[in-house]
Structure 1
């Protein structure tokens, strides 16, 4: 295989477009869904041109990934998908397929893990891919072969934007989120450790599990690190994307006609 692979985080794209359309909707739900499907299809067509993709796939989420079994509170406070949208997902899938893009909806796996697996398979073979999502969880995967594109801001994300946003280097993002937590996904982090403390500890330590013994840190910080190490490890596992999912299809099957 050669070329450029376009990887679309389908629900991320759809929900953002749906949120705008539903707020502006002055007609029936049926008409709103028709309009929204057309906008999603148009977005996919634009993305094909922007990335000059030769291969493409739009990935949906499965029902319950391993994370829900590993940590019961995972995404527990997140609002459920609007019923109108949930009942219309088949229409969105069809709209995407009409653009020539393959649609994949796993039974259980999250789209993030599927996309990360595909991107890393490409990179391993020195082939390029572009992930389209506003989800920050893809940022640790950014490298010479994997790009991340924000469709709504119309920009590719880079290492400078990561440091400006989080105050740590890309290589330390997983440690940063595992320490400070992630409220949007109900990932706990270390209790009492916020953004600033996480940044300070990361700046001093390559291995966070050893930081509790660092006497240059305040007694309060050392105590939090010592008592919160189990939550740190749980959180680190939750925020780390898997790259070893058994896909059941080959990259060659994603070629655009």
Structure 2
């Protein structure tokens, strides 16, 4: 059976790089070239080790490293909501400079990579995963980003390489108090500081969990007799904002990427690993 493993590349690489950079923090302005090269070399070695571990644990027949847009142009989420990820720290300059070399190194190891301007990795991964699941193929997403949890509802598996854990629907239920298919609505109410999305003032996690039990849409929730009047008022007042937040949290599943499975086979050929 086909098993496509999709790796959220920058989620993996930035965490590996941070470990190598940490001994030199705060980085001095005049970092020696030898030190810079050592950090990049260590990151490359850590990446090689991590990829081998991911392959061992996930056993892919097909493998793809998915990168965020390489363009400096804003993504569709930034166009929809300019404050999206406004509090996110920029990529370290040294890592930014090293990325092309890291990409070439991974390609030479027989691992395909992909990125598309205007889209984050989650949109590309969700589109590929959705298409594969429509054909009942196995898909695993490797990332620590909670934004992939909603994909569990379609049968996608998630793997946290750093914790060596496989978060599932029970994990989501215990962590957030809702099932994966209610997570996007939950976040649209309580917000998400990592993406700089405020949610609805006055509706916290406890209230969100309670009212999401009342219906599968916000319209149904507002019409439910057990919906508190104050909550109904807040949902009505913030209707436009909630609709915006729903879009921000929802990974796109409709991208036409022009990829075929043959391109993603792992390993590409015996020669690639000779």
* Cα 1:144/1:74, change in 2 over 3 Å: closer
State the alpha-carbon separation in 2 of the partners of residues 93 and 209 from structure 1. Answer: 46
Alignment of 1:196-235 (within 5 A): 196-214=206-224, 216-235=226-245
**Residue of structure 2 in register with 1:192 after alignment:** 202
Alignment of 1:83-162 (within 5 A): 83-143=93-153, 145-162=155-172
In structure 1, list runs of 5 or more residues that go unmatched: none
**Residue of structure 1 in register with 2:21 after alignment:** 22
Report the alpha carbon displacement of residue 115 of structure 1 after superposing the two structures with TM: 0.6
Residues paired across the two proteins, number: 256
State the alpha-carbon separation in 2 of the partners of residues 52 and 216 from structure 1. Answer: 48
Given candidates 77, 85, 97, the residue that maps to 1:67 is: 77
* Cα 1:178/1:143, change in 2 over 3 Å: closer
* Cα 1:170/1:75, change in 2 over 3 Å: same
Contact 2:88 2:194 in 1 (8 A): yes
Contact 1:40 1:95 in 2 (8 A): no
**Residue of structure 2 in register with 1:51 after alignment:** 58
Question: Once the two structures are superposed, what CA deviation does each residue of 1:194-222 show, in whole Å capped at 9, x if it has no partner?
Answer: 21111111022222134345553443322
Moved more, 64-73 or 127-136: 64-73
State the alpha-carbon separation in 2 of the partners of residues 222 and 152 from structure 1. Answer: 41
Contact 1:132 1:149 in 2 (8 A): yes
Contact 1:188 1:231 in 2 (8 A): no
State the alpha-carbon separation in 1 of the partners of residues 263 and 156 from structure 2. Answer: 20
Question: Once the two structures are superposed, what CA deviation does each residue of 1:26-65 show, in whole Å capped at 9, x if it has no partner?
Answer: 9712211110111112111211121111111101100332
Moved more, 27-36 or 149-158: 27-36
**Residue of structure 2 in register with 1:4 after alignment:** 3
State the alpha-carbon separation in 1 of the partners of residues 231 and 137 from structure 2. Answer: 43
State the alpha-carbon separation in 2 of the partners of residues 126 and 205 from structure 1. Answer: 29
State the alpha-carbon separation in 1 of the partners of residues 178 and 172 from structure 2. Answer: 8
Within the alignment, does 1:247 sit opposite 2:257 as a pair?
yes
State the alpha-carbon separation in 1 of the partners of residues 128 and 227 from structure 2. Answer: 41
TM-score, normalised by the number of residues in structure 1: 0.93
Contact 1:140 1:170 in 2 (8 A): yes
State the alpha-carbon separation in 2 of the partners of residues 47 and 98 from structure 1. Answer: 18
* Aligned partner of residue 213 in structure 2, secondary structure: helix
Question: Once the two structures are superposed, what CA deviation does each residue of 1:53-106 show, in whole Å capped at 9, x if it has no partner?
Answer: 111110110033211111111111211111111111112212322331101122
In structure 2, list runs of 5 or more residues that go unmatched: 26-33, 269-274
Report the alpha carbon displacement of residue 180 of structure 1 after superposing the two structures with TM: 1.1
* Aligned partner of residue 131 in structure 1, secondary structure: strand
Question: Once the two structures are superposed, what CA deviation does each residue of 1:213-241 show, in whole Å capped at 9, x if it has no partner?
Answer: 55534433222222111111110011001
State the alpha-carbon separation in 2 of the partners of residues 219 and 143 from structure 1. Answer: 31
TM-score, normalised by the number of residues in structure 2: 0.88
Moved more, 110-119 or 185-194: 185-194
State the alpha-carbon separation in 1 of the partners of residues 154 and 119 from structure 2. Answer: 26
State the alpha-carbon separation in 2 of the partners of residues 153 and 35 from structure 1. Answer: 20
Deviating beyond 4 angstroms after TM superposition, the runs of 4 or more aligned structure 1 residues are none
